[in-house]
Amino acid sequence: MDSLSISSLLEDLKNSDATVREQATKKIWRIWFQQKGIYGLEKIDHSQKLLDAGETTEAEEVLTRLINEQPDFAEAWNRRAFLYYSMGNYQKSLADCQMVVNLNPVHFGALHGMGLCYAALGKYVEAIQAFQRALAIQPYSLVNQKLILECTFRIS
């Protein structure tokens, strides 16, 4: 990954211009998905098609195999975390989100996912902390702002 390019794009996420933020977000996701070249991207695409078809076991197998082959591929972990979240397996999703953040500390998608998992588990303080970490990277994220308010309401 080109760290200079990522740093610049991360700064663009804090820009007051929504178009600049949207373009930066798309570019960051593209970099993350393409981190391991065409092979990794094809495997992620294949797993998504399986998931869309309701073949969750097969999708999990594809992603687990990719993770075993390329354990430093953060987006493979993130996609499996999403799969686990969509299946309601929040603990497994959290564990994979944590791996993503260990590999890529600025992965706002995984931080958002952690917040969703904690909220689903009724751990609202932890959810707020995860959403706040995501907001530190993407301060204009309305969804994370809204989720922080919802979790705060549930605590009070």
| In the chain, alpha helices (H) | 3-12, 18-33, 37-52, 56-69, 74-86, 90-103, 108-120, 124-137, 142-155
Per-residue pLDDT of the chain (156 residues; tens, 9 = 90+): 456 689 999 999 999 999 999 999 999 999 999 999 999 999 999 999 999 999 999 999 999 999 999 999 999 999 999 999 999 999 999 999 999 999 999 999 999 999 999 999 999 999 999 999 999 999 999 999 999 999 999 998
Boundaries of every domain in the chain: 111-156
Distances (CA, A) of 134 to 101, 113, 120, 142: 11, 10, 17, 11
pTM (predicted TM-score):
0.94
Tell me the DSSP string of 2-39.
-HHHHHHHHHHTT-S-HHHHHHHHHHHHHHHHTTTHHH
- Say if CB 137 and CB 106 are below 8 A apart: yes
Q: What distance in Å separates the CA atoms of residue 113 and residue 102, rounded to the nearest whole number?
A: 14
pLDDT in tens, 13-34: 999 999 999 999 999 999 999 9
| Residue 136 C-alpha from the chain's centroid | 15
